[in-house]
Structure 1
Amino acid sequence: MSMVTSALKKPITTVVITASLLLFAVLSALKIPIDIFPQLNSPTIYVIESYGGMSPQQMEGFFSTRLQDQFLYVNGVKSITAKNIQGLTMLKLSFYESTNMAEASAQVALQVNRAMKFFPPGALPPQVVRFDASSLPVGQLVLSAKSRSLKEIYDMAATRIRPMFSSVAGLSAPPPFGANSRSITISVDPSKLRSYNLTPDEVVGALSKFNVMSPSGNLRLDNTMMVTSMNSLVKTVDEFNNIPIATKNGVSILVRDVARVADAADVTVDYALINGKRSVYIPVVKTADASTWSVVKSLKAKIPEMQSLLPDDVHISYEFDQSVAVINSVKSLIT
């Protein structure tokens, strides 16, 4: 008996089945996650530590070896791979497929805190990054201005636009790219240091000592108690010149006597060209469980609010939209 004959003999059953298939097809098309790739469980964690001025051998001895010894206590570790270059060490922890990665991340963070007790003075806490192949850039938020420097645009992107990423569900907040972050450089003249019988450590100590904020107690006036603080933070770049380093024969030696202070920029580590011009952009990276289409739609709705936080001559736009290809694929699937 052919399918046509069966359908003609039972028309009501055929209509019900056809309507059910159509209904479930529409519901599936509305609820299906619109994404580039399916959710992938990649059991990998990266630990990154930087320390300026150290050779690869020193980075391995002071950081990489210490961290590897501690990570042996983490459950589910399959292999540990370390890469050491000048001033940077990166460890890749691979886990077995059945490992609970949330628990593994917590254990890695705990062991990192223990290993930090053996780090050299001044070392910053390592970055612990869980890699997931489903966390992909879905576009770029580009900031541009004709009359402003890249350093100014970078500061606006980092301090005004990036914090707003937390209000968009399923969106992470990587730092801006394309410009050098602002840095206050103090260039010490070795000959002047020798003439005053000073050392570079004394200059560093003076800068740390005279650029702090500390509580100084409470002030009671009748029934009112006010919290007071001793604020000696440097407000402008020129104030660094007036910081005293030491006193010789009753005369204070200031920073300007032995060094030159400049409002400069950090070393160039990234370079972005957009439409043939250097620009600053923030990568739009979604989380692993978020839908590409939902994230992009929510972000575009926030762009007018972001623009209101910027000066009139700074323009913000969403470029390299990956959701276009995704939505076209969904249309083809529905058709």
Structure 2
Amino acid sequence: MWIVRLALARPYTFVVMALLILIGGVLTIQRMAVDIFPDIPIPVVGIVWTYSGIAPEEMNQRIVVPVERAITTTVSNVEHQESQSLKGIGLIKVFFQPGSDPDAGVAQLTAISQTLLRVLPPGITPPLIIRYSASNVPIAQTSLSSETLGESDLFDAANAFIRPGLAVVQGASVLLPNGGKPKQIMVDLDPNKLAGKGLSGNDVVNTLLAQNVIIPAGSAKIGTREYDVRLNSSPEAVATLNDLPIKTVDGTTVYIRDVAFVHEGAAVQQNVVRQNGRRTAIIPILKSGSASTLAIIDKIKQVLPNIQANAPPGLNIKLLFDQSFFVRASIKGVIIEASIAAGLTALMILLFLGSWRSTLIIAVSIPLSI
């Protein structure tokens, strides 16, 4: 009971302490990351291998199984692995022991993946290594639509213009856009003309690779100045690729235009996104780390007008949805429930004790305790 006697002897000291607790609590709440879920570290890392055109069975035998065996013998603190093989895609989930550092696991998996590239099928690219986290959830979606721009222009604007503008927001992870058509250079081969000239598709590919390059050729010193010299055989326009010579047959030079047609086109569309019946491109935005959802959404809403002002003419940028609505609703619900609980507690004390002083003390103590 010494603390009670101390409080009665020095009441102003405890009043000041209560005020300091109140002020400190308010400042802490203002600086605290506000979200529905806390930052929960999960020791799981995903590895995504891609190899276009390979069947699921071959993906499993030639890529997934060798990688799993290498992980078992070289990566520490592995609890178990799970894998899934699809056409052209192999997904491996590596579960680490509870309490282990996922960042160390990512570093080890990155190193072993780079080493395995030499023994895997030729042409395979390094994998995408992802650390799983319960806090990395979608918090917003941005849509891009236009009445004048095509789907290829929408994809280009989303990937090269909108994503860099949103990537400056701290705590936001901006994914690749969905919808639209990625631009690429198309080479349409004519099999009959190739056969007539005694050529194959590889001859066209080798011509494009060999003659579409920029090679440093050294330097030239003229007077007191030294100039860099480069051999530039890269055409300035896509159409000029048709004029590249393939080889000479019976004294006649065969050009690419004689057996193929090179033009600017788009990749085969893998997904279609529609908004109100109109084709659109969307950019998902995830929350990364322990950042606050409300802070990220507020910052996104601040930068979107600037991005729209500098966007290509005819491009409309809109925030389709944001998770902050549900976060604010949850926080409001918690505050209302806490207020009701505090009010009912004070009312019950007043009814049973009949003392306004005791009721006031309890009513003030509840928020200070929280």
The answer, yes or no, to whether TM exceeds 0.5 is yes
Q: 1:65 Cα shift?
A: 2.2
1:23 aligns with 2:23: yes
CA–CA distance in 1 between the matches of 2:330 and 2:226? 65
Q: 1:108 Cα shift?
A: 0.3
Aligned residue pair count: 331
Q: After TM superposition, where is structure 1 displaced by more than 6 Å over at least 4 residues in a row?
A: 7-11
Letter in 2 for 1:39: D
CA–CA distance in 2 between the matches of 1:195 and 1:189? 10
Per-residue deviation, residues 45-86 of structure 1 (Å, max 9, x unmatched): 111122222212221232112212221211111112221122
Identical-residue share of aligned pairs (%): 30
Corresponding residue of 2:366: none
The farther-off stretch of 312-321 and 149-158 is: 312-321
Conserved 8 A contact 2:71-2:112: yes
Conserved 8 A contact 2:45-2:131: yes
Q: 1:22 Cα shift?
A: 3.1
Q: 1:334 Cα shift?
A: 4.6
Corresponding residue of 1:65: 65
Letter in 2 for 1:32: M
Greater helix fraction, Structure 1 or Structure 2 = 2
The answer to which structure, 1 or 2, has the higher relative contact order (CA under 8 A, 6+ apart) is 1
**Secondary structure in 2 matching 1:33:** coil
Conserved 8 A contact 2:166-2:303: no
CA–CA distance in 2 between the matches of 1:315 and 1:166? 19
Corresponding residue of 2:248: 247
Q: 1:15 Cα shift?
A: 4.3
- Going from structure 1 to structure 2, the CA distance change for 1:135 and 1:124 (only over 3 Å counts) comes to same
Structure 1's unaligned 5+ residue stretches are: 2-6
CA–CA distance in 2 between the matches of 1:36 and 1:209? 56
CA–CA distance in 2 between the matches of 1:277 and 1:192? 40
**Secondary structure in 2 matching 1:172:** strand
Q: Which structure 2 residues correspond to residues 101-250 of structure 1 after superposition, within 5 A?
A: 101-250=102-251
The farther-off stretch of 32-41 and 182-191 is: 182-191
Structure 2's unaligned 5+ residue stretches are: 2-6, 337-370
The farther-off stretch of 220-229 and 44-53 is: 220-229
Corresponding residue of 2:361: none
- Going from structure 1 to structure 2, the CA distance change for 1:226 and 1:334 (only over 3 Å counts) comes to farther
Q: 1:16 Cα shift?
A: 4.6
The farther-off stretch of 57-66 and 285-294 is: 57-66
Q: Give the TM-score of the pair, scaled to structure 2.
A: 0.82
**Secondary structure in 1 matching 2:288:** coil
Conserved 8 A contact 2:35-2:294: yes
- Going from structure 1 to structure 2, the CA distance change for 1:87 and 1:296 (only over 3 Å counts) comes to same
Corresponding residue of 1:306: 307
Corresponding residue of 1:41: 41
CA–CA distance in 1 between the matches of 2:31 and 2:267? 47
Corresponding residue of 1:4: none
Q: 1:105 Cα shift?
A: 0.4
CA–CA distance in 2 between the matches of 1:112 and 1:298? 36
Conserved 8 A contact 1:140-1:284: yes
RMSD (CA atoms)? 2.4
**Secondary structure in 1 matching 2:104:** helix
**Secondary structure in 2 matching 1:117:** coil
Q: Give the TM-score of the pair, scaled to structure 1.
A: 0.90
Per-residue deviation, residues 152-175 of structure 1 (Å, max 9, x unmatched): 011011111212233221122311
- Going from structure 1 to structure 2, the CA distance change for 1:39 and 1:243 (only over 3 Å counts) comes to same
The farther-off stretch of 247-256 and 97-106 is: 247-256
- Larger Rg, first or second structure (1 or 2): 2
CA–CA distance in 2 between the matches of 1:99 and 1:175? 30
Conserved 8 A contact 1:144-1:279: yes
Q: 1:10 Cα shift?
A: 8.5
- Going from structure 1 to structure 2, the CA distance change for 1:107 and 1:233 (only over 3 Å counts) comes to same
CA–CA distance in 2 between the matches of 1:265 and 1:190? 21
Q: 1:262 Cα shift?
A: 3.7
CA–CA distance in 1 between the matches of 2:162 and 2:186? 26
Conserved 8 A contact 1:37-1:134: yes
Conserved 8 A contact 1:211-1:232: yes
Conserved 8 A contact 1:70-1:112: no
Q: 1:143 Cα shift?
A: 1.5
Corresponding residue of 2:53: 53
Per-residue deviation, residues 242-288 of structure 1 (Å, max 9, x unmatched): 12222212222122211233432212222222233221121111212
Per-residue deviation, residues 190-225 of structure 1 (Å, max 9, x unmatched): 222221111222221112112222211123232322
Letter in 1 for 2:64: S
Q: Which structure 2 residues correspond to residues 275-286 of structure 1 after superposition, within 5 A?
A: 275-286=276-287
Letter in 1 for 2:181: N
Conserved 8 A contact 2:54-2:87: yes
**Secondary structure in 2 matching 1:66:** helix
Corresponding residue of 2:342: none
CA–CA distance in 1 between the matches of 2:277 and 2:217? 54
